[in-house]
Amino acid sequence: QLEFWETHKNNQFMNFLAQANEYLKTIAVDQINNTEEDEKSSIDDLLADVEAQDSTSIVSINPLLDLIVGYGFQGGPVLAQFASKDSEKVMGYLDTPEVRKLLPRNLRYTKFAWGKPEQNSEIIELYALKSNRDDIAPLSGGVVVDAMQSYDMSGSPAVSMQMNSQGARTWEAMTGKAFRETTNIAIVLDDIVYSAPGVSSGPISGGRSEITGNFSLNEAIDLANVLRAGKLPAAAEIIQSEIVGPSLGKEAIQSGIYSFIIALIFVLVWMVFYYGFAGIFADVALVLNILLIFGILAGLGAVLTLPGIAGVVLTIGISVDANVLIFERIREELKKGKGLRKSVADGFNNALSSILDANITTGLTALILFVFGTGPIKGFATTLLIGIATSLFTAIFITRLFIDSRNEKGRRVSMGTKLTQSLLSNINLSFLEKRKIAYVISSLILTTSLISLSFQGLNQGVDFVGGRSYTIRFDKIISPNAVQSTLINTLGSAEVKTFGNENQLKITTKYKVDVEGLAVDNEIQNILYNSLLSFLPDGYTYDQFVNGSNEKQVGIMSSIKVGPTIADDIKKNSFLAVIGSLIVVFLYILLRFRRWQFSLGAVAAVFHDVLIVLGVFSLTYKFMPFSMEINQAFIAAILTVIGYSLNDTVVVFDRIREFAGEHTKWKFNKTVNAALNSTLSRTLNTSLTTLIVLLAIFIFGGESIRGFMFALIVGVIVGTYSSVFIATPVMYDTHRGKIVTDEGNGL
């Protein structure tokens, strides 16, 4: 909520600050000596809290004045400057009824407010605003019609502001009074003073004003945004935040890039090994695909996070899958005795349907994730959607361009090597006969998963339960139990776990989760510092513990804060995302295959895969050496598993539909088995390639993404199994022997 307040001059408060300090000193001495047993006032409670947090402050000579680190210029609006970490303590002193009684009669309604902290500064300024009995600002931000960053006569950044007619009249009166009394007008958003300009040229009429000062361009833009926020109906509050220090951020970027390069090298080598010369063309298309993705992301101004990098790497698997489908179809056409050019043309045409269906189903889950996801998860969905589009382009057009170009020159393109040319090509397994065994195995695994979920549950992260989470690094191996015992008296039920290396812990707490503001953040950081001081290097200061730097190796490396409201929203949106993706995919498969049995088989496989992934997390989260929290990233993994499982299933269904049209006299079980056998090479090849990619990220990627990758690895393994042994058998058993053809049954 934006408000405009008149300010007091700082020289009016010098005596008050001295008197308040003397009063606080007296109370502190009385507490130490335990001479008074009467009911404690609110200031007593505050000083008692200070005693618990910092024993040195109790014996401080000047409880208030010793906290001052600087003053504003004489007669200005800034009373004094304090360290940010002391802001709650100072405001507690000043808002105590006993201290406020020391204010002169003409200052009794003074409203104390903090200024907006400067970037990378631990100093915060205290202002005194001219309030009233009702604590209502003389002018609210709702009168601001527009505000924009501009330039003054000297070419320096400034801010232009326009008010409506009602606001213009009040503004003229306020600026006139400020000019006569040489005071300032504070621009306050949600009780934070963003600027307090003076009035240099008399009353401002007409409602149009220009605010000048020693602004940088970014500061002027920020102030214009603050003024425009006056039209908001409610105050803004931070309901979710995530801070990553530069040192940890640098490590995360390095691990993300390394894992990406390693995964890419594995895939490039594998494609050449398996498909020979054609694999080289696929590699060129893959590299071009990656360049296109990064180019589009750069054009959009997108911020690439670790989940975003995971989305790009997952795109590698999608791109490879499209090329594998094409090359396998070309191989089949060559085995029929067709010439290379004809085989290439027919192979691309026959693979197109499977490629489109598979990518559309994956794209639908990514779209659902984009709609319901927030922050980094939306970034993951964005890169995945872009990757699907670019993969289709490079696989269908670029790869064919290279192959056709080589064919036109009379040079043969090999579709395999001596080791792989006939690999998995003559397999004739009866998958349907083994379906009952698969049903029993899956039933046992699902039952175990459900029992574990019922009794052991899942390790829900801050995203789902709300609270604050801090990643803290030490210079030696620290026992989580020792830290937890230390924190129990200050933060209550804090959860402490090893996070990555044994010298790094993740501390999660719900302490004052409902309270917003910088003061609470500083209070918790103070508690952490004082509680963990014995575990830190000798002489390690609070500033070193809290502040980030590129060389930082000890202290708070990152922090996450999620309010209870947003936690509920995240849970609701996650549920909607999963259910929404299932409904959308069910309808799409029904539309494409025009039989509910296909949709049922696909959705049954998806439920099977999701429950098993959840069950694995429930069974193993207590002893796995990495974090397995259920958070937004995990939901992204679940939706990706859904997309992958459907991708695999749709390819098999598409081949069943094709075989049913070609072999109308075959029994349905023969058609299904033949389709499964014919796609087995593609299924295993794509799964193996995707697993290589995921394992590379899992092993070489950052700690924060390891649980996410583990969920995907389990999902790919289970998804590959379910497309063959769950989705197809369920579809078969519910068909009741009906023959499926392209024409007769409208598929």
* Whole-number pLDDT of residue 702: 66
- What pLDDT, on the 0 to 100 scale, is given for residue 518? 66
Q: Are residues 177 and 320 in the same domain?
A: no
* Greatest pairwise CA separation for the chain in angstroms: 104
Residue in 264, 256, 496 with CA at minimum distance from that of residue 376: 256
Q: What is the pLDDT of residue 32?
A: 46
Please indicate, yes or no, whether residues 573 and 586 belong to a single structural domain of this protein. Answer: yes
Tell which of 562, 591, 614 closes a domain: 562
Assigned domain for 155 exists: yes
* Overall size of the chain counted in residues: 747
**What was the pLDDT predicted at 739?**
47
Q: DSSP states of 375-399 as a string?
A: THHHHHHHHHHHHHHHHHHIIIIIH
For the chain, list residues with pLDDT below 70: 28-60, 119-120, 214, 229-253, 256, 303-307, 309-310, 373-377, 421-425, 462-465, 492-493, 500-501, 513-518, 548-552, 562-571, 702-704, 736-747
Residues 513 and 620 in one domain: no
Q: Are the C-beta atoms of residues 307 and 374 closer than 8 Å to each other?
A: no
* Three-state SS at 134: coil
Question: SS3 sequence, 460-526?
Answer: ECHHHHCEEEEEEECCCCCCHHHHHHHHCCCCCCCEEEECCCCCEEEEEECCCCCCCCHHHHHHHHH
Same domain for 556 and 580: no
Task: Say whether both 585 and 684 belong to one domain.
Answer: yes
- Residue carrying structure tokens 């940088």: 216
In one letter, which amino acid is 530? N
What three-state secondary structure class fits 239?
A: coil
Does residue 506 share a domain with residue 450?
no
Q: Determine the structural domain holding residue 546 and report its residue range.
A: 467-562
Q: Please identify which residue in the block is written with the tokens 């024409």.
A: 743
Q: How far lies 293's CA from each of 46, 313, 388, 423, in Å?
A: 55, 11, 10, 33
Q: What is the predicted pLDDT for the residue at 73?
A: 86
Q: Total domain count for the chain? A: 3
Same domain, 670 and 574: yes
**Last residue in a domain, options 531, 562, 593:** 562
Reduce the DSSP state of residue 562 to 3 states and report it. Answer: strand
What is the tens place of the pLDDT at every residue in 646-685?
878 888 888 888 888 887 788 888 888 888 888 888 888 8
In a domain, 696, yes or no: yes
pTM, two decimals, is 0.64
**487 located within any domain:** yes
Q: What's the CA gap between 234 and 230, in Å, rounded?
A: 9
CA 434 to chain centre: 42
Instruction: Note the pLDDT of residue 746.
Output: 37
Same domain, 248 and 378: yes
The answer to whether residue 657 sits within a structural domain is: yes
For residues 421 and 280, state if they share a domain. Answer: yes
Same domain for 71 and 151?
A: yes
Burial class (CB in 10 A: 0-12, 13-18, 19+), 746: exposed
Boundary-marking domain end, from 524, 542, 562: 562
Burial of 643 (0-12, 13-18, 19+ CB in 10 A): buried
Give the CATH number, domain containing residue 557: 3.30.70.3400
Q: Which two tokens stand for residue 294?
A: 């990064």
CB hemisphere CA count around 337 (13 angstroms): 0
Q: What is the DSSP letter of 457?
A: -
CA distance 545 to 559: 13
Written as six digits, the tokens of 558 are 């990152």
The CA-to-CA distance between both ends of the chain, in Å, stands at 58
Note the pLDDT tens digit of each residue in 576-605: 777 877 788 788 888 877 788 888 898 899
The answer to whether residue 189 is domain-embedded is yes
Residue 176 covered by a domain? yes
